[in-house]
Every structure is written in C-alpha cells, then in structure tokens.
Homo-oligomer: A and B are copies of this chain.
Amino acid sequence: MSTPVKAGEPEKRRLTKAGRKTRERIVETAAELMSHRGAGGTSIPDIQAAAGVSASQIYHYFGDKQGLVLAVIDHQTDAKLAQQRPLLDSIEALREWCDRAGDRQDAMGCEGGCEIGSLASELAERDQSVRTGLAAAFDRWEDPIRSGLARMQARGELSESADIAALATAVLAAIQGGMLLSQVRRSSTAYRQAVSAVIDHIESHLVR
C-alpha cells in the first residue's frame, strides 16, 4: 500500500499565507462545531458566524459543504497523528500510546467519542466522496501503526509469520470500538481493555 494522501492537499498549496490562515480558521471552527453537533447539524451560516467569515469565503476555499467536510476529516486525522508517537515500534510504545489516549478520554469524562469515527458513522452512507475521504483518513491513521510493526519485524523482534497489516487494522478497530464503548459507558475501561487485548496479542508474536 502506498502512503495515503489527503484529499484537500493540492488546493492548499496554491494559497497565500493569509489565505491559508483563513482557510485554517474555517476548518478548525467547522471541526469544533461538527464534533459537537455532527456534520448534518452544522450549517454554513453556523460556521460563518463562529469563524467570522462570509459564505463566499467558505465557498472560495472549499467549493461546497462536501469539500469542507473532507477538509475537516483531514484536519481531525492530522490531529490524531500529531497525538501519536512518531515511532510505534515496540510493545512499550504501543502500550504508552494506548494509556495516554485512555488518560485523554478520562480527562474529557469520556465525552465526545472519536471525531473521525463519529463523522464516519454519520456520513458513510450519505456521501460516496466523503466515505472515500474517511477511508483515506483511516488508512493514514493505520499507516504508522503498520510501519511500527514492520520495523519490529525487520529487526527480527516480531515473528515473520505475523500479519502486520491485519494486526494494524485490529489495533485501529479496537481504538474505534473501544472509544465508542467508553463514550457510551462514560469510562475509559472498555477502550483500555480493547486496545490492550490487541497489544497483548501482538506481544504473543514477539520472537523470544
């Protein structure tokens, strides 16, 4: 699999510095509103008012609401990747990453769930382009997990028989399902148990 790319990248490169800042403010505002009300519950006028921009500015940067939603998905994925350690190439790194994510959920009272998972659940059946954007977002999120496992395997620490692509997917699924259960139960326990189980399973593939 090649490195997944972001849908909104080409347009972004052509902007001036001021243009990029305005675009960024719109995306951040839209992301914040959508994380509370969903994409369907967030109108262009809502975003205009909250970001202090005109409708024509929004349409200039994003074309339409679909374009803005795709940019929000990219933005939320960037945020997730920024929280991730650059190298998830040891069991300890994976466990520490899982713990910190659990701590962040506790700090929020386990409210809100995963911004990307929530958009995925809301929009996957509503819009084919957005679904493709969400698939790219999950690929980008999964990529460093798989790369970390690949490094462990290249160093001879992880068994050659381990299917690292499948294990990376299992980690991401545990994150998504675990966050949803933690959100509903208002306790990070489900998240921690779900991700730990998969990390334990990865650990069983270590070459002793």
Q: Which A residues lie at the B interface, using CB under 8 A?
A: 36, 38, 40-41, 111-113, 117-118, 120-122, 124-125, 131, 134-135, 138, 163, 166-167, 169-170, 172-178, 180-181, 183-186, 189-191, 193-194, 196-198, 200-201, 204
Contact = CB atoms under 8 A, between A and B. Distances in A.
Given A118-B121, A121-B121, A201-B201, A174 B181 contact: no
A120 B184 contact: yes
Given A41-B40, A113-B121, A198 B181 contact: no
Contact of A190 (B40, B169, B196): B169
A138 B181 contact: yes
A206 to B, nearest CB: 12
Given A118-B121, A121-B122, A125-B112, A197 B201 contact: yes
A175 to B, nearest CB: 7
A176 B170 contact: no
A122 B163 CA distance: 34
A174 B180 contact: no
